[in-house]
A and B are shown apart, each in its own frame.
Chain A
Amino acid sequence: MATLYALFVDPFAQMWDNPEFLLEVVIGGLLSGVLYSLVALGYVLIYKASGVFNFAQGTMVLFAALTFSGCIDLHVPIWLSFIIVIAVMVVLAFGIERVVLRPLVNQEQIILFMATIGITYFLRGLGQIVWGGNVRTLDIGLPKAPMIIGGVLVNAFDLVSAAAAGSLVAILAVFFQKTAVGRALRAVADDHQAAQAVGIPLKTIWVIVWTTAGIVALVAGILWGTNLGVQFSIELVALKALPVLILGGFTSVPGAIVGGLIVGAGEKVAEVFWGPALGGAIEDWFAYMLALAFLLVRPQGLFGERIIERV
């Protein structure tokens, strides 16, 4: 009885009693969900354009953040480090396209997925050899002080990261909708063969997509790194982007954003209100269970393309 009460009555009673607190938790969750969205966005970009479920996205976030903080530690100015890391990501994209994707063209998706797990291990080892395995702090002058807006306690850093994520999404949307390259990207995403038939160079498109994903990874890495320090747990946090992904649908950019917000808010609310009854740390698996339950109802995710199967 006591357990049932703690599970089904008490959390709602708490929410009813203290709506400001609930609002605070939800806003905190939404803002941290933005960071999940950013990582998930990287997955979606690559999946849309090349049909590859890029497991290495999490490690790319870590790798970008490590390189960035490494440059900062060498007293390189911030803007220059930013450019250096982008250059590194471009090189990485070229390398991956040449060494991994090109020989594996026309292979099954599962093979490509496993290849990206290989890339994950490679980057993880490389990052540690070059930059060492220590936790690095990353401070590029983003505000961190908590502040009160309309009676609700909000972290200034969360607002900055939400703004950064928002503008990144806006830039990407313009890039996808208004530029020639963006049109080519969408064409490739729709149909590889048709895109090739009208003369869109697939290889170049892949490099561009992986570079874009690398830049998204860099932004995510800077934000996570400022928040948690640049360390390997970032990779685990990136695993949290996977439920976001299946919740929103693999092929949908808005899905990644909305999914991230749902997971972020749901996770925080669950942890704060149901966590004590279940022994705490339910954040570890809550997102996955949420996504799983959701998929049972809608197997293609919120905004995913309808799965049509033919013999």
Chain B
Amino acid sequence: MLYREAGQFKTSYVADQAIFPILQDRIFVALILAVAFVGIPVLAISAGAEAYWLGTIMVPLLAYALAAIGLNILTGYAGQVSLGTGGFMAVGAFAAYKLATAFPWLNVVLVFLLAGLVTAAVGIMFGFPSLRIKGFYLTVATLASQFFLIWLFNKVPWFTNYAPSGVINAPPRAVFSDIFVTGSEARPLAKYYFVLVIVTVLALAAKNLVRGRVGRAWMAIRDMDIAAEIIGIRPLQTKLLAFAVSSFYCGIAGALWAHVYTSSVEALAFDIDTSFTVLFMIIIGGLGSILGSFLGAAFITLLPLFLENVPPKLGLAISVNLVTNIQQIIFGALIVFFLIAEPRGLARLWQIGKEKLRLWPFPH
């Protein structure tokens, strides 16, 4: 009753091809955006915990969501399982650092976009083997990029501007005249809005990309590359484009992580565990779904907070060590559970929910 297409007639091609063709979907997206742009900041400020809520929870969550979108494009849509996400995020972070310090007059938005492009180029380089190597062989081969890139940033002092510690500190940069979004003076609110706008724009772009010609080519390659080749999709261009776009997103996510969230970071922060974390996000969120990337990122970032905060409130004293171990067990169990219960993740559950809403309150 509440959620149904019936009666919503489309009278033009534009309306038919709209990104959210149903009124209820548009309302829902508007609501989400309203919560993200107004609700969360107001709540955080009125609770007096701006730095914690916005700076410590929401900013990394959004950065992870962006990385998850990137990996989802490569793995969920184009079917190339990659364990090199951490490496590409590191490329983005270090490229942004080099660009920001080499060209101090460059606007920070441009810096991040350029960093994304640099990462895309690196991604293409590591995407070349995908033409010859497939399946698990490719998955293992992407580990090469992970280990090699992290080693490179650790060993070559040029990338850290010869900092003896190997740590890069984000230089303070402003979007407009004095609204700083990176560096120590940046207010959490400004950081949050900056990240939110970037992530919203890029998520919309990704959504449009995957429902268009390019996205369909990716999905054809994913489902069966030989068949895709026969119907006229060029595997070389399609796969490399997937690697490029995916790395672009991961690179920007890494730059946001290093410059906006942590402000100072070393290459090891993007180790193989990062790759796995992002992979879990898209498994739990849903392979081949942009919405799923957000759901997965939210789930994986919020679960530890939940596990840390809830047991003490219930009067259970659990040591920090035990909490991390229990987290790992729960992570592992949840992943297996999700794969068994719903291999297509939270996004699929959301779809099922919509189907149910379509009939509600009637059983048939």
Chain A residues close to B by CB (< 8 Å): 53, 99-100, 103-104, 107, 109-111, 113-115, 117-126, 128-129, 133, 239, 242-243, 245-246, 250, 278-282, 284-285, 288-289, 291-292, 295-296, 299-301, 307, 309-311
Q: Which residue of B lies closest to A289 (CB)?
A: B144
Q: Assess whether A115 is in contact with B335, with CB atoms less than 8 Å apart.
A: yes
Q: Are A291 and B141 in contact (CB under 8 A)?
A: yes
Chain B contacts of A110 at CB under 8 A? 81
Partner of A133, one of B151, B272, B321: B321
Q: Given the known A-B contacts A118-B333, A119-B336, A279-B156, are A128 and B325 also in contact in the complex, defined by CB atoms under 8 Å? A: yes
Question: Which residues of B are found within 8 Å of A295, using beta-carbon distances?
Answer: 129, 132-133, 137, 141
Contact B329 A291 (CB under 8 A): no
| Known contacts A120-B332, A279-B156, A309-B226; A109 and B135 CB within 8 A of each other | yes
Q: CB < 8 Å: which of A119, A288, A307 contacts B144?
A: A288
Residues of chain A lying within 8 A (CB to CB) of residue B280: 117
Q: Which residue of A lies closest to B336 (CB)?
A: A118
Contacts of A246 in B (CB 8 A): 136-137, 140-141
Number of residues of chain B lying within 8 A (CB) of chain A: 46
**Which residues of chain A are within 8 angstroms of B132 by Cβ–Cβ distance?**
295-296, 299
From DSSP, what is the main secondary structure of chain A's interface residues?
Answer: helix
Contact B328 A125 (CB under 8 A): yes
Inter-chain contacts of B226 with A (CB < 8 A):
309-311
Q: CA of A101 to CA of B75 in the docked complex: distance in angstroms?
A: 23
Q: Are B155 and A121 in contact (CB under 8 A)?
A: no
A245 to B136, CA, bound (A): 10
A121 touches B141 (CB 8 A): no
- Residues of B138-169 at the interface with A, using a CB-CB cut-off of 8 Å, are 139-141, 143-144, 147-148, 150-151, 154-156
Contact between chains at B331 and A121 (CB < 8 Å): yes
What is the bound-complex CA distance between A245 and B135, given in angstroms? 13
Interface centre among B230, B326, B327, B331 (most CB of A within 10 A): B331
Which residues of B sit under 8 angstroms from A299, Cβ to Cβ?
Answer: 132-134, 137
B156 touches A122 (CB 8 A): no
CB of A115 within 8 A of CB of B336, answer: yes
Q: Does B343 contact A (CB under 8 A)?
A: yes
